Structure 1
């Protein structure tokens, strides 16, 4: 914005020369006399040298002769005042003086138009949104014709700040389309504004469409991550995974949460092995914390991928951080399914000892089935008898108990025959 005002000042200085040198004026403006210009230039020179107070004093001296000055000279005086206060970051005072410039008539078109547009920008920066819109309307009237891209963007910015999101959408989209039609790349902040407006309008599918264009033109890591998040919000899991994978390949997933999102996306899309590999690597590189939640996800991934050794190790590590025996119970079940009976019995007992189980009867069943697999009938029968104390597994435990008793009797008969 400061650069824009510097340009306005440059236009004003050029306007010292006759209108014929830079274009026909709609109104014939009076000349800027040398004695006035020399004083204004002196004030500017003092200010540029750090003597702002001295510069303002010179301007005040010129102001004392207002009655003898024409409209152009007065406008230039107000313009120099405004620019000087702007340089001191006294923006509201600068606005006051720049607004006096456009009240003078006649003045060169370039001075009028440039000052009005700068006023609209300055008012926006000071959160004087309605003033900004008013100045922009005046600028459009002064310029005439179709709205220019820079005016469309500024109008959209002001309307967005006023929370008039429906009204803000049309001008920013028009600016983007005009730029594209001219074969130019729209500015990045235009897309940022369009994305914000669509978000406020709860048009999440359009947020995704804008982010696709932002990736196409600017290819920043944050836009890939945001697009993945939007697809997740839309319930488009496969698109979320595709975007996260593409971002990962490019080295854009550097934050722990982003890597976790990739692992979760693999898991949700039934690719548990990749989920496990991704998370295991991130844990090894300390990109994500080895906390209970992350270790649970790792364990679930390895269980689903039927990677028994990895699943057992992950469950044991997670269980060490847990206050209850649920994870040891899961480990016991995995070990039983893998026919690692002795380990399954040990894990089930650890789960019972730790407590806090939702279904403790299941652990007695695991011990019983593992013992039965090892033909340890007495331990199996004791475990099934214990399981019968729980309503949710009583029927199943009774069935296994009868089966274990039958197997024990058969084993005893076979042994007796051997002894005879």
Structure 2
């Protein structure tokens, strides 16, 4: 189940956000009066000298001369706080395309004095947060996103998603849930990302009941996402709700959502766990024949044992025979013999038992006792008695041997057969 750890870094960072329906209040509460004050602040304009540098840098950038653009910005100096912040902002933006640590340095310098225009300050705070997240400075990234929300007053789904993601990447799973819920609350439409984060965090903290509730919501909101159905079917097993697991997987299967070997095997296993062995065997058999499920010892044994549980003994014998040929497994021949005996195919059973004995099967005395049955019901009392004598070599079989010995002798005597 550790595969869900893969819902980290690249996947979560790049996933779009959110979904409506939400908790009572957001994690960050901006002072909207201060936000309005910032928006109403008088707009400043850079000085002529700095303005020319910025124009030249922009032209070089458009000509894809990034290093030259950075160089002229680094040479520019100003005693004016606004001009300096603007230069640092441009440097931060340019470095963001090539060097995140330098981008963080200059963006931090740009926003520190709070001299930029409202939109430029907001954009720089957001870019700084993104750079910190990209540089794996997760705690600082969280603070930066919160600062951006406080500055802009914007309850933004994307920002909360990234905060939740940062907590997840620090393995602080309990702290993932609140910002993920805020990402859901402030998203204009249902999108998968925050739910995936909640799912991953709840799985890591083993809060399985809550996990299932989240994934149940996910399959309702995003029914076309095949993987969510598989997750839900799998997660029901964590709380031993096997009938719900089976129902979910059956529904997914009927819609063509189970496309992988592991998914089909999970469905077959759920049939077995819910005491529906025939469907378990048939499902596995169908997809083995199609080539989706591997034809290996484990899967062949699964089919054989479930056919046996379903009392489809000839089918069970067929698949035990396949296991035996594939692996030279003596016990598979013993099981094949047992399946044949169940439908009174004694000659085939005897051949399978003999093969098991020739391959030094574990506990041969048990196989000899099975041979006693097979021979006796064919009225081959001499062969049954010989098998019984071989079983008798095992002291642990003494009680069974005693019961059979006098019985076989009596039957042989009645038929005039000397033992």
- 1:246 matched to 2:240? The reply is no
TM-score, length-scaled by structure 1: 0.83
Question: Paired residue for 2:219, among 193, 215, 218?
Answer: 215
Offset at residue 344 of structure 1 (A): 1.8
- 1:59 matched to 2:68? The reply is no
Q: Deviations over 1:26-49 (max 9, x none)?
A: 433433345543431221121121
CA distance in 2, matches of 1:83, 1:149: 23
Query: Does the 8 Å CA contact 1:71/1:105 hold for their aligned counterparts?
Result: no
- State the structure with bigger RCO (CA 8 A, min sep 6), 1 or 2: 2
2:89 matched to which residue of 1? 79
CA distance in 2, matches of 1:131, 1:24: 24
Offset at residue 90 of structure 1 (A): 0.8
1:379 matched to which residue of 2? 383
Q: Which runs of 4+ in 1 moved over 4 A?
A: none
Structure 2: runs of 5+ lacking an equivalent: 1-12, 15-35
Offset at residue 299 of structure 1 (A): 0.6
Say if 1:151 and 1:289 are closer, same or farther in 2 by CA, change over 3 A: closer
Query: Does the 8 Å CA contact 2:278/2:310 hold for their aligned counterparts?
Result: yes
Say if 1:37 and 1:393 are closer, same or farther in 2 by CA, change over 3 A: same
Say if 1:215 and 1:47 are closer, same or farther in 2 by CA, change over 3 A: same
**Alignment partner of 1:195: what SS?**
helix
Q: Deviations over 1:7-41 (max 9, x none)?
A: xxxxxxxxxxxxxxx99734334333455434312
CA distance in 1, matches of 2:145, 2:329: 66
- 1:329 matched to 2:334? The reply is yes
Query: Does the 8 Å CA contact 1:225/1:247 hold for their aligned counterparts?
Result: yes
2:171 matched to which residue of 1? 163
**Alignment partner of 1:352: what SS?**
helix
2:135 matched to which residue of 1? 126
Say if 1:276 and 1:165 are closer, same or farther in 2 by CA, change over 3 A: closer
- 1:410 matched to 2:414? The reply is yes
Q: Deviations over 1:338-367 (max 9, x none)?
A: 111222222221111111323x22222222
Q: Deviations over 1:380-404 (max 9, x none)?
A: 2222222222233222222122112
CA distance in 2, matches of 1:162, 1:286: 41
Query: Does the 8 Å CA contact 2:157/2:185 hold for their aligned counterparts?
Result: no
2:41 matched to which residue of 1? 27
- 1:395 matched to 2:399? The reply is yes
CA distance in 2, matches of 1:325, 1:154: 57
**Alignment partner of 1:320: what SS?**
helix
Offset at residue 314 of structure 1 (A): 0.6
1:348-363 alignment, distance < 5 Å: 348-358=353-363, 360-363=364-367
- 1:102 matched to 2:116? The reply is no
Say if 1:37 and 1:333 are closer, same or farther in 2 by CA, change over 3 A: same
**Alignment partner of 2:326: what SS?**
coil
TM-score, length-scaled by structure 2: 0.84
Question: More deviation in 135-144 or 338-347?
Answer: 135-144
- 1:177 matched to 2:185? The reply is yes
Offset at residue 378 of structure 1 (A): 1.5
1:309 matched to which residue of 2? 314
CA distance in 2, matches of 1:203, 1:396: 52
- 1:115 matched to 2:124? The reply is yes
2:31 matched to which residue of 1? none
1:364 matched to which residue of 2? 368
Q: What RMSD in Å do the two structures reach over aligned CA positions? A: 2.5
Offset at residue 200 of structure 1 (A): 2.3
CA distance in 2, matches of 1:99, 1:300: 66
**Alignment partner of 2:416: what SS?**
helix
**Alignment partner of 2:180: what SS?**
helix
Q: How many residues align?
A: 383
CA distance in 2, matches of 1:284, 1:137: 56
- 1:338 matched to 2:352? The reply is no
Question: More deviation in 121-130 or 317-326?
Answer: 317-326
Offset at residue 297 of structure 1 (A): 0.7
- 1:43 matched to 2:53? The reply is no
CA distance in 1, matches of 2:359, 2:272: 29
Query: Does the 8 Å CA contact 1:272/1:302 hold for their aligned counterparts?
Result: yes
Say if 1:395 and 1:114 are closer, same or farther in 2 by CA, change over 3 A: same
Say if 1:40 and 1:23 are closer, same or farther in 2 by CA, change over 3 A: farther
CA distance in 2, matches of 1:47, 1:239: 58
Query: Does the 8 Å CA contact 1:388/1:395 hold for their aligned counterparts?
Result: no
Question: More deviation in 299-308 or 228-237?
Answer: 228-237
CA distance in 2, matches of 1:371, 1:328: 17
1:136 matched to which residue of 2? 145
